[in-house]
């Protein structure tokens, strides 16, 4: 699709090839405007030349061009650009038909992209101390077609799309031995949901490549419920657990455990839990599924450092998959039904604390723009968290 590098890439190239970092910074902040005004009078021919009018504004402003995630390169990953290499694919999963309470997350992917318009993969993430585009070529593949009439078909569509992306070879090969079972370097996928059910097919994809993963699950709910318990409480017509009981956004981890996708020995962790349960047995079941729990109010006791310590002790050196339900954030900052959540400042500190972990993939789910404020605060929160996850990926290559 692209024959020439985007302007952003050229600027990054220019910066990386400049001799001193200080000189590069000077250039970054001081060159553009003065070159337009260096003559005594403004040269309007130059100012309005097609080259400047298009190149200077086309890709750099927040409201121009195609809306991709954090101005990553748009790519027809499954079509005419199928051969173009990349390191991270952003993928939209517009699916919300396994939602129990408030559907609408099928519009989440574009909501999060909208929230990411002020961000750029080529901008410096100050707290993470990195510029993603220096390490990773991030593309936005758009949204996977997911039918709304049959969840099994829809989830299968996502599973196949995710596997197709993961099967490729990484654009920038890191030094060392790849963490992947086939010892090749594969791209990573950051999925924008969609309701939380999508994590099941996404986990199948990464586990195919890396083997069982430790999951860091940010959420206010456990999502490990047995299908029967989950369904029968809502619908007494279904009495028996069987293949026909569909996976939902409250039971996908139970399936993941049964399929052997989760790393053993309770090396998976929920962070931010605070939702009501029907029975304390839910906690026993959760432990059997393979998780330990960091409750939202624990933050008050141990601070973000304590939570980070707990997470790192739990996942050890395993490959890690991050899945974040936006309702982990307090409803004051991301409107959703569970009060007492994590603030956006805290989640950023926690993300910073995960630096060095081997993040093989991630998703951000349950963003339903229909319940957001007009100021798009939920979408902006989700977008910034995704941007931090990209920074984590940039900081740590997947070497064994």
Ligand X SMILES: *[C@@H]1O[C@H](CO)[C@@H](O)[C@H](O)[C@H]1NC(C)=O
Give residues in contact with ligand X (CB under 6 A): 39, 43, 45-46, 49, 264-265
Q: How far is the CB of 50 from ligand X (least distance, A)?
A: 10
Q: How far is the CB of 318 from ligand X (least distance, A)?
A: 9
Taking the least distance from each CB to ligand X, the nearer of 35 and 233 is 35
Encoded tokens for 40: 């005594």
Q: How far is the CB of 45 from ligand X (least distance, A)?
A: 4
CA count, 13 A, side-chain hemisphere, 147: 8
Residue carrying structure tokens 């723009």: 369
How would you classify the pairing of strands 73-74 and 138-143?
parallel
Taking the least distance from each CB to ligand X, the nearer of 288 and 297 is 288
Q: How far is the CB of 119 from ligand X (least distance, A)?
A: 33
Taking the least distance from each CB to ligand X, the nearer of 42 and 160 is 42
Smallest CA-to-CA distance from 289 within 271, 270, 316 is with 270
> Rounded to the nearest 5°, which phi and psi values hold at 322?
-100, 125
Q: Which residue is nearest to ligand X (CB)?
A: 46
Taking the least distance from each CB to ligand X, the nearer of 263 and 328 is 263
Strand partners, 265: none
Q: How far is the CB of 41 from ligand X (least distance, A)?
A: 8
Q: How far is the CB of 211 from ligand X (least distance, A)?
A: 11
Taking the least distance from each CB to ligand X, the nearer of 3 and 45 is 45
The maximal CA–CA distance of the chain, rounded, in angstroms, is 83
Encoded tokens for 52: 């400047």
Encoded tokens for 49: 């030349």
Taking the least distance from each CB to ligand X, the nearer of 264 and 303 is 264
Cα–Cα distance measured from residue 163 to residue 146, given in angstroms and rounded to the nearest whole number: 15
Helices (H), 167-235: 199-210, 227-234
């Amino acid at each position: 699709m692209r024959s020439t590098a985007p302007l952003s890439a050229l600027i990054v190239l220019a910066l990386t090839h400049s001799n001193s970092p200080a000189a590069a910074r000077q250039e970054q902040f001081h060159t553009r405007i003065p070159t337009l005004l260096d003559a005594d009078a403004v040269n309007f021919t130059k100012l309005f030349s097609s080259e400047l009018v298009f190149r200077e504004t086309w890709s750099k402003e927040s409201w121009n061009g195609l809306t991709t995630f954090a101005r990553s390169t748009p790519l027809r990953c499954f079509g005419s650009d199928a051969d173009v290499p990349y390191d991270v694919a952003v993928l939209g999963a517009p699916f919300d038909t396994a939602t129990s309470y408030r559907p609408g997350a099928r519009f989440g992917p574009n909501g999060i992209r909208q929230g990411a318009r002020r961000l750029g993969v080529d901008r410096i993430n100050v707290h993470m101390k990195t510029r993603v585009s220096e390490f990773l070529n991030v593309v936005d593949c758009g949204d996977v077609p997911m039918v709304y009439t049959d969840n099994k078909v829809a989830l299968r569509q996502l599973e196949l799309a995710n596997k197709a992306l993961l099967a490729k070879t990484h654009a920038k090969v890191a030094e060392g031995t790849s963490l992947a079972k086939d010892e090749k370097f594969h791209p990573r996928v950051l999925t924008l949901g969609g309701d939380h059910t999508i994590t099941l097919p996404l986990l199948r994809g990464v586990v195919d490549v890396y083997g069982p993963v430790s999951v860091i699950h940010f959420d206010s709910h456990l999502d490990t419920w047995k299908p029967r318990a989950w369904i029968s409480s809502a619908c007494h017509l279904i009495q028996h657990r069987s293949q026909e009981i569909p996976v939902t956004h409250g039971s996908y981890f139970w399936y993941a455990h049964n399929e052997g996708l989760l790393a053993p020995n309770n090396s998976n962790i929920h962070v931010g839990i605070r939702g009501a349960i029907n029975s304390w047995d839910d906690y026993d079941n959760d432990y059997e599924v393979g998780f330990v729990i960091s409750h939202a109010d624990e933050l008050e006791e141990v601070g973000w450092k304590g939570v980070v310590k707990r997470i790192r002790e739990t996942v050890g050196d395993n490959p890690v998959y991050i899945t974040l339900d936006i309702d982990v954030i307090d409803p004051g900052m991301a409107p959703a039904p569970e009060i007492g959540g994590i603030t956006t400042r805290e989640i950023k500190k926690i993300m910073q604390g995960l630096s060095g972990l081997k993040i093989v993939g991630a998703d951000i789910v349950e963003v339903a723009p229909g319940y957001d404020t007009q100021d798009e605060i939920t979408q902006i929160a989700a977008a910034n968290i995704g941007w931090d996850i990209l920074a984590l990926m940039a900081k740590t290559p997947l070497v064994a």
